[in-house]
Structure formats: C-alpha cells, structure tokens
Structure 1
C-alpha cells in the first residue's frame, strides 16, 4: 500500500467512530459492508487516494469503533455518519456505500445531508416480503460469526487465502452474531423505496457480475431515473476485494463526471 492512511476517531451519537483518511482532493466517504471494516476498501485505496480525499469509517459496532448497546436502525447509522462528516468539516462529500453501507449512504442523502454524489455498491433492492421469506437463510449466514473456508470462498471470485480468511473471521467475530443479524434486520426494516424517491443527485449503481444483487440492477435503475449503472466482470458481492482496479476505475470515472471538484 503506497497511501499511508491517517487514523482518527470522532464522537458520534452511536459512540466513538474510528476512521482512516488518505489522499488529497474532493472528499469521498466510504462505508463498508456488514461484519467488515475500512479494510474492505484497502486494495483500492491507493488508486482512489491518488485523486480523492478518502475517508473510510468503521461503522458503529465494527472494527475499531465503539460497540453499540442495541441494534441501530439504518437511520441511526446515518445519523452517526452525519456526525462524522460534521466533525471532520467535510463540505458536500461524495458517499460510497457497500452493501449495508449503501443503505446508510442513501438514508443520509435522502435525509437532507449535503452530498455531491452517491455510489451505491451492491445494494440489495428487495421488498420486505422478499426479506421475510429469505430470513431463515439470512439468520443461517449471519447467526454464526466465524465461518470455514468452504462457506466464505463462494462469496468471492478471487482465491480466499489465509490472510483474507483470517481477517474475514476476525472482523465478523468482533461484531458478533447478534450484531451481524441486527444489521441485516436494519436493512430488512428500512423503507428503501421511500429513501430512493428523495434522492436527487448523481448516483452510480455498482454491481458485481457474479454477485447476489445484479439481478435487481434494472429495477434499482428504474427507481433512480438518471442514475448510472456499472457492472464489474468477474466480481461478486465484494467488488473492491475481487477486482480493486476495476472498482477504483469505475468510481473515479463516475466521480470525475459528476462530482464537484473543488477540494473542501
């Protein structure tokens, strides 16, 4: 890694949140998926930090951030994000959210957060009925924090080596099974359609060609008229880990076309 991230912590309504910051330019805030940390974006950090002031958090209850006392809603996570943005004095940053991070980004932007552009990475655009039907499988996937290689490898296109498997399990165990399931319940219970209807800013919808959300790409695009869709070949749900160069290129191309380019 060429970019040397600076580590920091800020106080938010969900406790202290840890973050890393690297690069210079307009600000890009990155929000990882359930059971992970800012390291989800580590392979793409150098490429993104070459053009952007990259801030990647550990969402509350994850990584080096404080624990949460009860499973927060997506709106509560978005409130914590708003506190982070305010504490760092960011002016109209772009947001990039992966999986649950995409929900948090959409909630913040829909709630009036001043944002230049949003990247919704691998967003599960599903109905509540779909979630209720899928819930037994969701509990099976997230109800046990530590997973063997045979359960993890199918979620990636790249080979899951010892280093990735160790980090995967270390970060999931840190969040805990109750925390992991709580995040999924927050996704299930969030009124995504209502939030998307309020978004009136440039949006990139990013999908892995082999991921679990690409089947909803057209439906999500229809819910966000004027949005841009990009599908990354040979990538699953974790595009930044499967195809970091293509991930960074898609994000950079979109932001150069749509984001305010005056640094904060």
Structure 2
C-alpha cells in the first residue's frame, strides 16, 4: 500500500513524496517524471535527495523513483541494523509494493550492493543495473576488515555525542564528494551527519563481515550492467573492485572525474552515459 505524505517546502522536497511498506519497514519514495522506471538507491548516510536533480533532468524520458533507506531522509528508523543484506530485502519489498515489473536500478555504495543481491535473485525484474562505486565487489580481507571496524567505531563515538564529529565529518565528505557540482548536496549530508551516525556505525560494521562479499554473484548478472565509477574515490577504488566487476557477462565501464557519486559530481557526463546505456537495455 502506498500512503501519500505531505511534502515539506518545495525547495527542500521538489519530488513528490509517498510512503510504502517494504519488508516490515516504512520507506519514503520520491517520484518524478513519466516513462520507463528507474529506481535509485543511495549510499549510507545520504538519502533519496541525492537523485533530485537527476530526476529533474531525466523526468521527460523516465519515471525516476528514489528510496530513503530506514532512518534516512523521510523514512523513519527501524530496529533492524543497517546492512546491504537488509537493504536488499527492503528493495525486494519496495519493487513489489510499487508494482514495478522491469526496472533499471541505480545503486550507489551500499545501494549498489543491495542492487547486486536483488538483481542476482530476481533477474526477470531488472532491465538494467547501474552500479556507482558499489559495495560488495572488493575482497573483505584483513585490511578491509580493520578499516571498516575503525570507521564503525568512529561513527559509534559520534552517535554517543563526540563533539569533534561535525568538523571531522565535514572534512571527510570533502573527500567523498570532492567535485564542486556536488556542493549543494554535500552541505546537506554534512548537516545531517549526527542524526545518522548510529546507522553509519552499523553499516560500516556490516562491511567487515564475510556476507558483505558479493563477488560470487556477479557472473549471474545476465542483464546489462553499467559501472559508473569515480577515479577519485578513496573509499571504494575501482582497482579493488575491477576483477570482480568484469565478470558480469554484459557490462560496460566508464570512469568519471569524481569521488563516490558521479551522478552528483559530473552530472552532464553521467547523463550522457546513462542515456546511452538505457537506450541499449532490452
């Protein structure tokens, strides 16, 4: 069931907002445009707002839907901890609740990992898969586990009230989204950082577990797959994920002059690449 919610100020919520029930969670969904469906999944600590301007640019050709994961944006928090596996379950529930049959899925970071799991399990429902600096493709080795647990502890301290966190988080996000085109969204994410620090701690802890390694699923991704990766991404470097990514049978790769989200940082270049990919999807 979809429940219509009253949006906030037009400047803050330009995309119409609904709420759905998906896998036991209440999920906010922003929708704009008309045409074939694109379902957009954001990184932990960010939100569906990431895709507002993409939806404005694509709305004359596509119906763009963007989810807020639990505890992000306009979705209430839930008891279940954040992880790609949990988000894949929510994604499955959302696709069913929205009545989507053949959809292009764009997934960024943990959203990409959730999209990989969903697409491997439901290939008949995914027309194409766009993975933007996706989780799940790099080995979960000792170095990765140590780094992820270090980040989890840092965000756990922030959730407990670390007063140094806002300044650190602002510096951190200048490395995550370094391009000027993303300034508008980076400022919003940084301002909301303390509210989602606990969820970020959960997500980073989940990245250190063996279940976060989804490399074995890639050969089963029979649909067209587009890897849109930022050359400047320090968190998920393309070189760490390349070997697994190239095992997708029907893939294309483009590297952008961006950090963690090319659609925010290099919008014109990303739009051109996406339009070419979507046009080639069956």
Same fold (TM over 0.5): yes
SS in 1 for 2:119: helix
Partners in 2 of 1:188 and 1:138 — Cα distance? 10
TM-score w.r.t. length of structure 1: 0.87
Q: Which of 198, 216, 220 is 1:198 aligned to?
A: 220
List aligned pairs for 1:220-231, cutoff 5 A. 220-231=244-255
Check the 8 A contact 1:153/1:159 in 2, yes or no. no
**2:276 is equivalent to residue 242 of structure 1:** no
Check the 8 A contact 1:109/1:199 in 2, yes or no. yes
Bigger CA drift: 23-32 or 111-120? 111-120
Deviation, structure 1 residue 254: 0.6
SS in 2 for 1:127: coil
**2:171 is equivalent to residue 158 of structure 1:** no
TM-score w.r.t. length of structure 2: 0.81
Matching residue of 1:210: 232
List aligned pairs for 1:85-124, cutoff 5 A. 85-112=95-122, 114-124=125-135
Deviations 1:135-158 (A, max 9, x none): 344236644365323332222332
Q: Which of 104, 118, 127 is 2:139 aligned to?
A: 127
Q: Which of 40, 43, 55 is 1:33 aligned to?
A: 43
Deviations 1:61-119 (A, max 9, x none): 21111212131442321121111111111121110000110001111111225111101
Using a 3 Å threshold, how does the CA distance of structure 1 residues 214 and 147 change in structure 2: closer, same or farther?
farther
Q: Which of 16, 19, 41 is 1:9 aligned to?
A: 19
Using a 3 Å threshold, how does the CA distance of structure 1 residues 251 and 14 change in structure 2: closer, same or farther?
farther
Higher relative contact order (CA 8 A, sep 6+): 1
Partners in 2 of 1:108 and 1:29 — Cα distance? 12
Divergent runs of 4+, >6 A: none
Matching residue of 1:183: 203
Using a 3 Å threshold, how does the CA distance of structure 1 residues 184 and 195 change in structure 2: closer, same or farther?
farther
Partners in 2 of 1:68 and 1:96 — Cα distance? 23
Partners in 1 of 2:208 and 2:90 — Cα distance? 19
Matching residue of 1:147: 166
Q: Which of 186, 189, 208 is 1:168 aligned to?
A: 189
Bigger CA drift: 100-109 or 130-139? 130-139
Deviation, structure 1 residue 199: 1.5
Aligned length: 256
Using a 3 Å threshold, how does the CA distance of structure 1 residues 164 and 117 change in structure 2: closer, same or farther?
closer
